[in-house]
Amino acid sequence: MNILKFIETFTDDNLMNSTGSRRDSFNQFGNIGKNLAYAAIPFGLSTFANKVMAKDITATPATPIGALQFALTLEYLENEFYAMALDSGVIPASENGGRDLKVFQQIAAHESNHVKFLIAGLGGTMSANFVAKPTFDFTVGGAFDPFHDYPTFLALAQAFEDTGVRAYKGQAANLITTPDLLTAALQIHSVEARHASEVRRLRGLKGWISNSERGAGMPAATQAVYDGEGVTMQAGFNTAMAFGAAAGSEAYDEPLTTQQVVDIANLFIV
Amino acid sequence: MKNEVKIQEVNPSLDSRRSFLKLSGLTLVSAGLVLAGCSDNDNEDNMQDNSLPGIKNGVFDLGSGDFGVLTYAYALEQLEADFYTKVVNSSSFNSVFNDTEKQVLTDLYHHEVVHRDFFKAALTGALPDPSSQLLPSLAFNYGSLNFNSRNEVLATAKALEDTGVAAYNGAGRLIKSADYLLLAGKIVSVEARHASAIRSLINPNSKDFAGDDIVNTSTGLDVAKDPSKILPIAGGFITTKFTANYLP
């Protein structure tokens, strides 16, 4: 069980101990079983995080405004993540012909614009629909070191972008009654997909997701981002028939529910 | 309109294609007028439902509503699938492209064929009378495009993928069914992943994967276009006549 090994690497006992002993927490794992643990614990930790962190976000309502609020919170997360990375100097400026820095400067600019666009769409910062930026901890209590360790930064960037693609897709039905908002969300959604594809290639992967594989070098704790991506039946059509399951699943990106995304995001919200 | 050529006919000549494009451009631009003007014809066609795809006045029309949008997507996926099928089957495929490029283009070939066949199956299952309402297999002509040229193939792939993204982004609002909307969403992000990959192959050490030419520099939004803006672009390669008189 890689997920338990991952959790064992966490040394912050406060994170573990706030509502019970560490031993109790592990006992809970034993009770609910391996598969359920995987399904319920994106990034390996959010069950603990939910208990200790008072400012968790909760699922937004299944309405157009709720979808925009949800999107804004995700964009806050991405925007701050890339801004902090650019400030930290963790992104190599000269390797690969300067490719990495150019890529993340462009992605950062887009995420910043998405934040501004969505705030405006919600009626501005004084609007009753406005939601404030949460406080993020991208180290997850010291478990990750994305602003000093470039591979960790890249892995989280891939997880965030692939999550973003699935998250926007999951909101489509909530926007079907508001065509202008739906179109705007689709226009952000495809930009997130362009980002995801490029970040995956920077990590040596294909730009698309094969089966439900998180890809080489991705921490096991990020598997929640990829669970459910391996679908090969689309509206009754077997997409694996022509070229196999990997190609068939690559051809379709799958949605995540609001709650699934909230569980992932809350790991990084303190 | 009496002498419209039947849909199955393939006319690869460049002149004919150009004249059709002019024709279709006019038709598309004046779609609103055509819609009003067609009501008489519809009476003659036994009150045929405009929302369903099928032959109207001798030419296949994509229809409107969800079936119209799905049929429109089927037409675009037919084009993409045909293009990559020709790319990977070109005699010089193995010599013109490096391993990374071959992998990307082969994957795109797989994905687009799957998309095409999916739409064919989905429409066949959902249309009330697929024998008359399913868009036929289209014919294509790429004119002077040199499939032995890396640059020309990648430039065309880039145009097709970016066009696909803009098409799905623009068509989402036309879809009434949440299930169909989600299916379109599942596909459009893969098209965007493709566009990013092709753009990176063309200009690797750059921000072109999501370049300023395609992502608005103040809003961060990708392109979204109506069918009437997409079809004249895609139609440059499609020789089979069809109309989209009931899509915006």
Give the residue with greater pLDDT, A6 vs A198. A198
Contact B196 A113 (CB under 8 A): no
Contact A239 B114 (CB under 8 A): yes
Chain A residues with CB under 8 Å of B200 CB are: 198, 201
Read off the pLDDT of each residue in A189-201 and give the average, rounded to a whole number.
Answer: 98
* Best CA proximity match to A221, nearest among A130, A170, A152: A152
Contact B189 A192 (CB under 8 A): yes
Q: Cα–Cα distance between A80 and A138 in angstroms, integer?
A: 9
Q: Does A253 touch chain B (CB under 8 A)?
A: yes
pLDDT at residue B50, as a whole number: 64
* Whether the predicted model's global pTM rises above the 0.90 cut: no
Contact B189 A169 (CB under 8 A): yes
Chain A residues with CB under 8 Å of B211 CB are: 106
Residue B23 is which amino acid? L
> Which chain B residue has the Cα nearest residue A103?
B207
Read off the pLDDT of each residue in A23-30 and give the average, rounded to a whole number.
Answer: 32
Closest CB to B210 among A117, A183, A195: A195
CB contact at 8 A, B73 and B184: yes
Q: For residue B227, count other CB atoms closer than 10 A to its CB.
A: 26
Residue A43 backbone class (left: φ over 0; alpha: ψ -120 to 50; beta: rest): left
Q: Which two tokens stand for residue B210?
A: 């999501």
Contact A191 B210 (CB under 8 A): yes
ipTM of the complex: 0.83
Read off the pLDDT of each residue in B98-115 and give the average, rounded to a whole number.
Answer: 98
Give buried/exposed letters for B129-140 (b at 16+ CB in 10 A, else e): eeeebbbeebbb
| Range in A83-97, A207-221, B25-39, B185-199 with the lowest mean pLDDT | B25-39
Residue B65: partners with Cβ closer than 8 Å, 6 or more residues away: B51, B174, B176
Q: For residue B173, count other CB atoms closer than 10 A to its CB.
A: 20
pLDDT at residue B107, as a whole number: 98
Q: Does A6 touch chain B (CB under 8 A)?
A: no
Q: Cα–Cα distance between B111 and B160 in angstroms, integer?
A: 14
- Burial grade of B112 (CB within 10 A; 0-12, 13-18, 19 or more): buried
Q: Cα–Cα distance between B231 and B21 in angstroms, integer?
A: 9
pLDDT at residue A137, as a whole number: 97
Site from B80, B191, B193 to mutate, A interface, most A CB atoms within 10 angstroms: B193
* Best CA proximity match to A256, nearest among A173, A184, A147: A173
Closest CB to B220 among A117, A186, A197: A117
Q: Which of residues 22-81 of A touch B (CB under 8 A)?
A: none
Examine the pLDDT at B27 and tell me if it is beyond 70. no
CB contact at 8 A, B82 and B71: no
Read off the pLDDT of each residue in B112-131 and give the average, rounded to a whole number.
Answer: 98
Examine the pLDDT at B112 and tell me if it is beyond 50. yes
| pLDDT tens readout for residues B46-94 | 444 568 999 999 999 999 999 999 999 999 999 999 999 999 999 999 9
pLDDT at residue A50, as a whole number: 39
**Number of C-alpha atoms within 13 angstroms, CB side, residue A194?**
35
Closest CB to B189 among A184, A190, A201: A190
CB contact at 8 A, A10 and A16: yes
| pLDDT tens readout for residues A13-26 | 333 333 333 333 33
Looking at residue A238, the DSSP 8-state letter turns out to be E
CB contact at 8 A, B233 and A199: no
Distance from CA of A13 to the nearest CA of B (A): 40
Q: How many residues are recorded in chain B?
A: 248
Chain B residues with CB under 8 Å of A193 CB are: 188-190, 192-193, 196
Contact B196 A242 (CB under 8 A): no
| pLDDT tens readout for residues A242-255 | 999 999 999 999 99
- Which residues are registered as beta bridge partners of A188? none
pLDDT bracket for residue A205 (50, 70, 90): very high
| pLDDT tens readout for residues A53-87 | 457 889 999 999 999 999 999 999 999 999 999 99
| pLDDT tens readout for residues A131-173 | 999 999 999 999 999 999 999 999 999 999 999 999 999 999 9
Q: Please, what is the average pLDDT of chain A?
A: 84
CB contact at 8 A, A76 and A130: no
List the beta strands (DSSP E) in chain B. 54-56, 59-61, 242-243
Residue B245 is which amino acid? N
| pLDDT tens readout for residues B3-14 | 333 333 333 333
* Best CA proximity match to A60, nearest among A138, A125, A142, A122: A122
Residue B147 is which amino acid? F
- Which residues are registered as beta bridge partners of B4? none
Contact A197 B181 (CB under 8 A): no
Q: Cα–Cα distance between A76 and A134 in angstroms, integer?
A: 8
The backbone torsions φ and ψ at residue A60, rounded to the nearest 5 degrees and listed phi first, read -75, 155
Contact A169 B182 (CB under 8 A): yes
Chain A residues with CB under 8 Å of B66 CB are: none
Q: Cα–Cα distance between A41 and A155 in angstroms, integer?
A: 18
Q: Cα–Cα distance between A228 and A13 in angstroms, integer?
A: 32
pLDDT at residue B80, as a whole number: 98
Chain B residues with CB under 8 Å of A98 CB are: 205
**Distance separating the N- and C-terminal Cα atoms of chain B:** 21
Q: Which two tokens stand for residue B109?
A: 């070939």
Give buried/exposed letters for A24-50 (b at 16+ CB in 10 A, else e): ebeeebeeeeeeebbbebbbbbbbbbe
- Burial grade of B45 (CB within 10 A; 0-12, 13-18, 19 or more): middle
Chain A residues with CB under 8 Å of B192 CB are: 189-191, 193-194, 197
| Range in A44-48, A58-62, B220-224 with the lowest mean pLDDT | A44-48
Looking at residue B54, the DSSP 8-state letter turns out to be E
Distance from CA of A231 to the nearest CA of B (A): 11
**Distance separating the N- and C-terminal Cα atoms of chain A:** 27
Q: Cα–Cα distance between A104 and A158 in angstroms, integer?
A: 12
Q: Please, what is the average pLDDT of chain B?
A: 85
Q: Does A192 touch chain B (CB under 8 A)?
A: yes
The backbone torsions φ and ψ at residue B97, rounded to the nearest 5 degrees and listed phi first, read -110, 145
Q: Using H for helix, E for strand and C for coil, what is the string for A3-31?
A: HHHHHHCCCCHHHHHCCCCHHHHHHHHHH
Q: Cα–Cα distance between B198 and B101 in angstroms, integer?
A: 9
Looking at residue B248, the DSSP 8-state letter turns out to be -
Query: Which range among A18-27, B19-28, B126-135 has the greatest average pLDDT?
Result: B126-135
pLDDT at residue A56, as a whole number: 86
Q: Does A102 touch chain B (CB under 8 A)?
A: yes
pLDDT at residue B103, as a whole number: 98
* Best CA proximity match to B198, nearest among B103, B88, B65, B115: B103
